[in-house]
A and B are shown apart, each in its own frame.
Chain A
Amino acid sequence: MFLEDIPLGHKATLGSYTFTQENIIKFAREFDPQPFHIDPEAARDSLYGGLTASGWHTAAAWMKVMVAHRYAQIASGMDATQENYLSPGVREMKWLRPVRPGTTLTYTTEPFNKKDWPTRPELGLLLSMNEARDAEGKLYYSFVSQVFIAKKPE
């Protein structure tokens, strides 16, 4: 699939990720060892009133479901052009609610714009709005992703 083939305004469900006390603490011990991410007792007395996942854990879980989704597409023959996705960065990351143990978030992505990248004319940038919601539809996390996608060869 080339950049030109990707429709804008179509929301796709990438997959779900369940945050547990175990994976919240494991991630945070390694990368974000603040009391409200690693210590259930100290977290109770914190601003959050209980253990919450690191925002970077919520972000990394998006990548996990995104890669699994893409590899499923590649396996089904829908997307065979690129194995690796490169990105110059992301924008407007919003951690809107604390993510508690036992929360399952479902991640979606919706392309909304395409841009040229002057130094790499063979590539373009696809901008998408990404969201993570729980089973009741409450929004926990959103951000804008930017990914380089090959254009159709001339």
Chain B
Amino acid sequence: MPEHLRFEDFTVGRKFTFGDHLVTEKAIIDFALEYDPQPMHVDPVAAKNDMMGRLIASGWHLCALAMRLIKDGLFDDQTSLGSPGVDEVQWRRPVRPNDRLSMEAEVLEARSSKSKPGRGIVRFRFDLFRTDEAGKRQLAITYTSPVMIRKREA
């Protein structure tokens, strides 16, 4: 469980490292069957002949997993009040079965809301890393997003 981070804790330049999640072949296929049933995500045999060479996780699955790692490792139930969007998502490298995922977050901007007391907007860069079975760690996805963050009680 994360410590109870609030707006005041997210100072510009501060970095957070968290999360350790194993990606199984079943999880890749289950997500993709529901939301992204392209052969490279659902069919280990067909994926072999494709340009990526082996089964890879849907990029949307990676975004969803990053959110889960953020909720488990950075935000408690009260930290976030939601987000208006994402500036840019870059899918840099594929994630394959048996990779482990971990996260880094950096605070890019933090400003208090003028109209809404009790909260501020924090712009984060979130990096999701994959570590393969040989122990090589690489950036898998990176995205920047503003999030509405609750302040501490006055």
List the interface of chain B (C-beta within 8 A of A): 34-40, 46, 50-52, 58-60, 63-65, 67-68, 71, 75, 77, 80-91, 141, 143
Contact = CB atoms under 8 A, between A and B. Distances in A.
B39 A34 contact: no
B interface, by DSSP: helix, strand, loop or mixed?
mixed
A83 B39 contact: yes
Interface residues of A, number: 36
B83 A95 contact: yes
Contact of A91 (B50, B87, B141): B87
Given A32-B71, A94-B84, A84 B64 contact: no
B39 A84 contact: yes
Contacts, number: 97
Interface of A: 27, 30-36, 46-48, 52, 54-56, 59-61, 63-64, 67, 83-96, 143
Contacts of A61: 35
B39 A90 contact: no
30 contacts: A27-B64, A31-B65, A32-B68, A32-B71, A35-B77, A36-B82, A55-B82, A55-B83, A56-B63, A56-B64, A59-B60, A59-B63, A60-B35, A60-B36, A63-B35, A63-B58, A63-B60, A64-B34, A67-B36, A84-B50, A86-B51, A88-B90, A89-B59, A90-B86, A92-B85, A93-B86, A93-B89, A94-B85, A95-B83, A95-B85
Contacts of A89: 59, 88-91, 141, 143
A37 to B, nearest CB: 9
A46 to B, nearest CB: 8
Contacts of A87: 59, 91
